[in-house]
Amino acid sequence: MKTEFMRVEKIIIEFIRTTVEKAGAKGGIIGLSGGIDSAVVAALACKALGSSNVHGYFIPSSVTPSEDEDHVKELTTKLGMSFEIIPLDDLLEQYKTLLNPETTSNNMAWANLMPRVRQALLYFKASELNSLVLGTSNKSELMIGYFTKFGDSAADLAPIGDLYKQEVNDLAKHLEIPASIITKAPSAGLWPGQTDEEELGFSYKELDEILEALESFQTVDQVHEKTGIAKETISRVVKLIRLNEHKRRPPLTLKLGYRSPGHDWRVPFFT
């Protein structure tokens, strides 16, 4: 994967800086997980906005590995930015009392609640500090829908949303993100010991090879020939892309009028 990192870094920094400026905002809000994606966004945001204008929030729950906090500390110290810890468990307990987990056997509903509550907290801080929420989703997870709708994907801008995980890794090295963050196994932190690659059933390396080939209009057979990855895996990725379009787009607005929001009533994002 060839990415001209110097140039990509410069362009993303410019994107963050101008978007925050045009929105009339003062800074950026980032949910820091201790993982590589939020670390890269934080590093880019500090360069774009100045580290005093970037506010990090580490929002752990009981299933968050303790090392994650160390990684966040290491990162923020290096970047010279402040961060705050907001423990999530008390809030989640309130939800549990209210929603009665005994009657809810759907684990995914509980797993998705955490990122949604986190994002609600981040948006509170964004209002309070007149700042924009910087998304940390990458292209690999966006394409296969490996994120929580209105959860971790909810943001005002997605600076690394068009970079595959492997490209984020390479950019992280270029940005000199601490090695402890780069080398640890990616995890959505949904339950203790969870790793993305184990849950997905394929590695990010395989996923990115598949996605890159599909992106350039190759068929399942062609991707298989090129990468040697099993056709079943490739077909699963194709299926995930299709199943999750609803997560990537704003809610469907049924067109009834002459010009309609989200369809054909289009105005400039900024003036």
Partner 1 sequence: MVLLRVALGQMSSLPANPDANLKIIEGMCERAQEDNVDLIIFPELSVTGYLMHDEVFNLAEKIPEGNLTQKLRKIANRTNVSILAGLPEKERPGVLYNSAVFVQPNSETYTTRKILLPNHSVFNEKRYFKPAEEIKTTPSPWGGLGVQICYDLFSPEISRFHALNGSPLLICLSASPGVRQQLFESFIKARAAENASFLIYVNQAGVQDDLIFWGGSEVCDPSGKQLLKLKYDEPDYGVVEIDLSQVDRTRTFIPTIRDAPGWIYTDLKEAQARR
Q: Is 26 exposed, middle or buried (0-12, 13-18, 19+ CB in 10 A)?
A: middle
Rounded to an integer, what distance in angstroms lies between the CA atom of residue 133 and that of residue 130?
10
**269 belongs to the binding site for partner 1 (CB under 8 A):** no
Rounded to an integer, what distance in angstroms lies between the CA atom of residue 191 and that of residue 68?
14
Rounded to an integer, what distance in angstroms lies between the CA atom of residue 107 and that of residue 111?
6
Scan residues 234-253 and list those touching partner 1 (CB under 8 A). 242, 252-253
Which lies closer to partner 1 via its Cβ, residue 22 or residue 255? 255
Rounded to an integer, what distance in angstroms lies between the CA atom of residue 194 and that of residue 192?
6
Return the CA Rg of the chain. 19
Q: How far is the CB of 226 from partner 1 (least distance, A)?
A: 16
CB atoms within 10 A of CB 239: 11
Which lies closer to partner 1 via its Cβ, residue 87 or residue 257? 257
Return the residue of 254, 268, 269, 271 that touches partner 1, per CB under 8 A. 254
**192 belongs to the binding site for partner 1 (CB under 8 A):** no
Alpha carbon separation from 121 to 30, 58, 91, 155 (Å, rounded) = 11, 11, 11, 12
Stretch that binds partner 1, among 52-60, 115-123, 195-203, 262-270 (CB under 8 A): 262-270
Scan residues 120-179 and list those touching partner 1 (CB under 8 A). none
User: What contacts 206, CB < 8 A, 6 or more positions away?
Assistant: 227, 229, 233
Stretch that binds partner 1, among 1-9, 160-168, 202-210, 258-266 (CB under 8 A): 258-266
Which lies closer to partner 1 via its Cβ, residue 258 or residue 269? 258
Return the residue of 102, 256, 268, 271 that touches partner 1, per CB under 8 A. 256
Return the residue of 217, 228, 267, 268 that touches partner 1, per CB under 8 A. 217
Which lies closer to partner 1 via its Cβ, residue 116 or residue 236? 236
Residues of this chain that interact with partner 1 (CB under 8 A) are 217, 219, 242, 252-260, 262-264
